[in-house]
């Protein structure tokens, strides 16, 4: 690993082989392991082998690896479990080591209900309605291009 590993980080301990994990797939830069607190059977985490708390601080090669491994694991999940779809999302608040959730999801399960509720909120919340206006969208696009 390029950066000093964080011995208090469970993912660094797994990468180093000092902590147990059910390894699913890996390449030189990323590792896929089963989540020990799964939302559904086959729920997998994809982590970079280098300790990087925020995904946007990964190198281009690490980002490519992370998403390539996530795609490979998604294909494995589709073949093994035949879910309605495979949800992926990045999170990292609880464990400050970049990781992507790769979760087999079925209509009506907890993630499907959560994302449906979130989309309903996104479409219907009065506070968010102003964000759909063309002037606000143009302003946001300009800010992001400049940032």
Residues catalogued as catalytic: 99
Which CB contacts under 8 angstroms, 24+ apart, belong to 122-130?
A: none
Tokens encoding 55: 């995904």
Describe the strand order of the beta sheet including 30-34 as a list of residue ranges: 23-26, 30-34, 44-48, 99-105, 85-91
Distance of CA 39 to the CA centre of its chain: 13
Contact 5, 15 (CB under 8 A): yes
Q: Which helix (H) or strand (E) holds 142?
A: helix 134-146
Cβ(100)–Cβ(88) below 8 Å: yes
């Amino acid at each position: 690993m390029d950066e000093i590993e964080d011995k208090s980080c469970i993912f660094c301990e797994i990468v180093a082989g000092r902590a147990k994990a059910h390894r699913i797939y890996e390449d030189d830069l990323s590792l896929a392991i089963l989540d020990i607190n799964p939302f559904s059977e086959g729920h997998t985490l994809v982590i970079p082998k280098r300790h990087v708390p925020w995904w946007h601080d990964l190198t281009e090669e690490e980002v490519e690896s992370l998403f390539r491994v996530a795609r490979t694991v998604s294909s494995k999940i589709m073949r093994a479990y035949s879910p309605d779809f495979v949800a992926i999302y990045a999170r990292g608040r609880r464990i400050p080591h970049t990781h992507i959730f790769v979760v087999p999801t079925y209509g009506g399960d907890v993630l499907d209900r959560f994302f449906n509720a979130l989309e309903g909120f996104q479409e219907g919340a009065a506070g968010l309605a102003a964000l759909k206006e063309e002037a606000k969208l143009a302003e946001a696009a300009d800010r992001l291009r400049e940032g």
